Every structure is written in C-alpha cells, then in structure tokens.
C-alpha cells in the first residue's frame, strides 16, 4: 500500500483523504518511509520533519472526522519545502554553512499558507547555496542526484524539490525561481514547475537572493497538481512590499479546461531567439514534436522575434550579482548564523573570517561581481546598462504578446549533465539558463512541462510555456492540453 500511495498524484490523494478512504497520516507516513528508503542516495532533503508532518496530518484527519470541510483542496497531502523559506519548527539553511542549524523566529507567509491549508510539510529540500546555481552542486551539504540517472545533476537551484517529486518522496513541492530555478530542475527531472507572475506569491520570509527577480512557486508531477498548489500559495500579502494586490488567477479552472484537449483560438509564438542549432539535438527534436502536438490541438502557431533576449544572460549576470552583493551583506556574524571568532578579533576581522568560512565559491564569485558592478565609476557602465537591457526585454515581450497569447521554447538547451562536469566552468553552467532568464527579467510567468525523453540519451526534456504578467491561467490551459496530448511519461 505504501508504494501505491507514493505513486499517486496529489489530486488523487486529496480526493481519497477527503473521502476518508485513506488517512492523511497514512499518506504522510508512506512518504516518510519512502524518504527513509531512497534519500540516503539522492540527498534531496536537508531536514526531514517527520514528527511535525505527522502531527499536521493527524489534525487534518481529526478535522475531517469531526465533519468539517477540508481546509483546502490539498488538505492532508504532504509537501517538500525548499530550504529558503523560513520555518519556526525546523532549520532554514539556504544550503549554506553560514546558516547551519539556524531556526527562524517567524514563518514565511508561504509557510503559513501551507499550514493553514492543512498541508503537512515533510521537510526542507536541498538547493544551491542561497539559490545560486543550476545544478544543486553548490550546496554546502553535498549535491542532490537526479533520480533518472544518479550520475547526473537534478537542475538548480531547486534540485532537491524536483528530485523529491521525481523519486516519489513527495507528491508536491515548493521552489523558487530567480532565473529558472523552478523550471530548469522540472525540465531535467520530468516534473512540472511554475514561476508565477512576480509579486503574486509573497516573498515575506523568503531569504533573498535577488529581490527584483526571486519568486516562489509550485512544483508537482502534473499540471493540475501544480495548479492546485498555486492557488493555495498565491495572494496579496501586506507584509511584502512587492506583493501585487490582485485576485488570484483561476489556474485550477484553466487546468481542468485545458485537459479537455482543445486549444482552438489560442495563438502560440515560437521565440526565434530561443530556438538555436547550438542546443542539444534531442532537445530541439522534442520541442519540435511538442509544437506539432499544439497545432494538432487547434492552436495557431507563429514565429516571433525578441531580439533583446540575446542579451538576457549578460544583463541577468550583472543585475543578480548586484542585488546579491546588497542582500548578503546582512550575514555579518553579529546577529545570527555562523560566527568565527578566536576571542581576539575586531568586528571587521570576525565578519571577514566568518564570510570566508561560511560562504561557498559560487556565492563569493557573485558577491564580488556584484560589488564591482555597483562600485563608483562602474555603476553606469555595468549595472545601469543592464537595467536598460531589462527594459528592452520587457518591450520585446510586450510586442510579442500583441501577436500571441503564449510563447513557447525549450526549457533548457540541454538534458541533465554529469555531476562535476561543469563545476569549474561557470559560463557553461550559466548557459543552461538561456531560455528561462527573460521571463524573470520581465516579471512575467512561465511553466515547464515534461516533453518526453531526449533521443540523444533517454533523459528528460521540458517544454517552456510563457505568458504575460497576471495571465498565469494561460500557462495552465496550454500546459494541461499539451500534457493530455503527450500522454504519460515513464517514471525513473
């Protein structure tokens, strides 16, 4: 029974729990057993909160037994939480030694919404340190392995959440997306991940990497599961100054509509600049097949040009490090977290020694790049120019959406590479984000849906669907329609 429960979709589990065919405690325990069985090899979790998860599950069961309506559409279904959201009952490390063992004094708004929805949190998942990376190899606690091939990366920075989903350790997960950290892991693990419109999911209690880019979002194994979680976590939050005060988009309704398989009247744009001969051949072949399926569903498909997208990588890797340089200055060894002090050191020496010992190589690299880009004499030449490119990218999107409803591209130019293959070549690592970066720079929404396995190596490939700000439901309609047409994908 345990194996059967961990293989079920979250929507199916929710129906069974709410009908009291199975208890939330049974479902949660099944996933805890699965974690115990396989995570020693995969390293998807940094902290497993078995006692807390079972307590939350029992509360759901007791409430249902008393005749109460479920707290949400996903009440009782357990979830894996990326270790970048604060939690008062388990550590929040952000994959860094500098926060090892740190327990926050408050819950993130997203954490609170999960608790209020009756969703047991199984634990915190592994990630590239402070969400900086595309492979989860930058974690201070060791890399996460891809369940499809344990010699390969699961994507990043949210590789732990994606690997937990792909290996049936959790039916739902939360990630964050700064430049593709939800979508790229989803693509290389054959799971679904959505980056919502910036500001529609609260960032309060999300430990910041780059504040103008970071966005929490839902991850699942199906489009419907992801939509159900999206509606739980979305919504205005007055504690977040970047929060958008607008109604939550009807993403679940859109997913159910899309599952009927009719895309007549939907205009789909292929982004010329995100379809390159330099991409892995199996990725391009999978993408072309997916586009043909969208046409068969009745969509009108045209090519659009967004020329400024060619400069997105350069702009992103100036804007993000600049914001990192500012945000990570708070880790000063004076208030919380790691502290290196031999008792005879000045405050400046303590800060320097703690940061040297506590931050990893990639974090240090980005802090130095950002500090340089913001320095006197270079601000206008680097950071200022990057902001202008960001504006041009947003304008390209606007022109494209005058012609089409959604845009599509491969999610990543490559299937998952070997562990260690790119750790000494940062630029090669950064190139994996080519297709995902523009959406973050514009603040729009995007989703990755599995598009099968590459003919090159039999590894997962993702289809990226993009939509304008506050049009998240379009992602779910098109994603669900494509998912139904594509059919089931074998699990690892």
CA distance 360 to 348: 19
Question: Cis (ω within 30 of 0) for the bond into 225?
Answer: no
- Measured CA distances, 58 to 29, 50, 76, 120, 147 (Å): 11, 12, 9, 9, 30
- One of 16, 24, 82, 202 is an active-site residue; which one? 82
**Cβ 162 vs Cβ 186: under 8 Å:** yes
Whether 181 sits among the annotated catalytic residues: the reply is: yes
Contacts of 313 (CB under 8 A, 6+ apart): 430, 431, 433, 434, 437
Whether 364 sits among the annotated catalytic residues: the reply is: no
**Cβ 144 vs Cβ 134: under 8 Å:** no
**Cβ 175 vs Cβ 144: under 8 Å:** no
- One of 96, 157, 167, 243 is an active-site residue; which one? 157
**Direct distance between the N- and C-terminal alpha carbons of the chain, in angstroms, rounded to an integer:** 19
Where do the DSSP E strands lie in 119-186? Answer: 121-125, 172-176
- One of 72, 161, 181, 322 is an active-site residue; which one? 181
Can you list the pairs that 373-377 forms with residues at least 24 positions away whose Cβ atoms lie under 8 Å?
373/318, 373/321, 373/322, 373/325, 374/322, 374/325, 374/326
Whether 361 sits among the annotated catalytic residues: the reply is: no
By DSSP bridging, strand 406-410 and strand 267-271 are parallel
**Tokens 């690592």 found at:** 429
Helices (runs of H) and strands (runs of E) counted in the chain: 17, 11
Strand, helix or coil for residue 487: coil
Active site residues: 82, 157, 181
């Amino acid at each position: 029974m345990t194996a059967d429960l961990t293989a079920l979709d979250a929507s199916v589990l929710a129906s069974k729990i709410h009908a009291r065919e199975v208890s939330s405690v049974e479902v949660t325990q099944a996933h805890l057993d699965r974690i115990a069985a396989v995570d020693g090899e995969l390293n998807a979790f940094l902290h497993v909160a078995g006692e807390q998860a079972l307590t939350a599950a029992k509360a759901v069961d007791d409430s249902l037994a008393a005749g109460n309506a479920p707290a949400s559409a996903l009440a009782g279904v357990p979830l894996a939480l990326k270790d970048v959201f604060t939690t008062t009952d388990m550590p929040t490390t952000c994959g860094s030694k500098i926060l090892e063992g740190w327990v926050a004094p408050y819950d993130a708004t997203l954490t609170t919404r999960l608790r209020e929805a009756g969703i047991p949190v199984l634990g915190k998942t592994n990630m590239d340190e402070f969400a900086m990376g595309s492979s989860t190899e930058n974690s201070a606690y060791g890399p996460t392995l891809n369940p499809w091939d344990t010699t390969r990366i699961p994507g990043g920075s949210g590789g732990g959440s994606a690997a937990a989903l792909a290996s049936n350790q959790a039916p739902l997960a939360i990630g964050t997306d700064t430049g593709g950290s939800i979508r790229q892991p989803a693509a290389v693990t054959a799971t679904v991940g959505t980056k919502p419109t910036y500001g529609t999911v609260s960032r309060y209690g999300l430990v910041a990497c780059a504040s103008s880019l970071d966005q929490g979002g839902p991850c699942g194994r199906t489009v419907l599961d992801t939509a159900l979680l999206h509606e739980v976590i979305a919504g205005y939050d007055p504690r977040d100054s970047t929060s958008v005060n607008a109604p939550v988009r009807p993403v679940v309704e859109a997913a159910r509509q899309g599952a009927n398989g009719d895309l007549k009247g939907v205009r789909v744009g292929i982004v010329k600049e995100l379809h390159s001969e330099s991409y892995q051949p199996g990725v391009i072949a999978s993408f072309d097949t997916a586009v043909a399926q969208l046409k068969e569903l009745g969509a009108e498909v045209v090519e659009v040009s967004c020329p400024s997208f060619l400069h997105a990588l350069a702009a992103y890797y100036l804007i993000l490090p600049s914001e990192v340089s500012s945000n990570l200055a708070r880790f000063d060894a004076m208030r919380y977290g790691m502290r290196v002090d031999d008792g005879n050191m000045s405050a400046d020496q303590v800060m320097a020694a703690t940061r040297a010992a506590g931050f990893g190589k990639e974090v240090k690299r980005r802090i130095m790049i950002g500090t340089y880009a913001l320095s006197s004499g270079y601000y206008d030449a680097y950071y200022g120019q990057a902001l202008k490119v960001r504006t041009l990218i947003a304008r390209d999107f606007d022109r494209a959406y005058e012609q089409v409803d959604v845009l599509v591209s491969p999610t990543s130019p490559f299937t998952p590479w070997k562990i260690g293959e790119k750790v000494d070549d940062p630029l090669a690592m950064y190139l994996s984000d080519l297709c995902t970066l523009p959406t973050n720079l514009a603040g729009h929404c995007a989703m990755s849906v599995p598009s099968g396995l590459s003919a090159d190596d039999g590894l997962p490939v993702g289809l990226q669907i993009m939509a304008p700000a506050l049009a998240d439901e379009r992602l779910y309609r098109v994603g669900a329609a494509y998912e139904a047409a594509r059919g089931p994908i074998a699990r690892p």
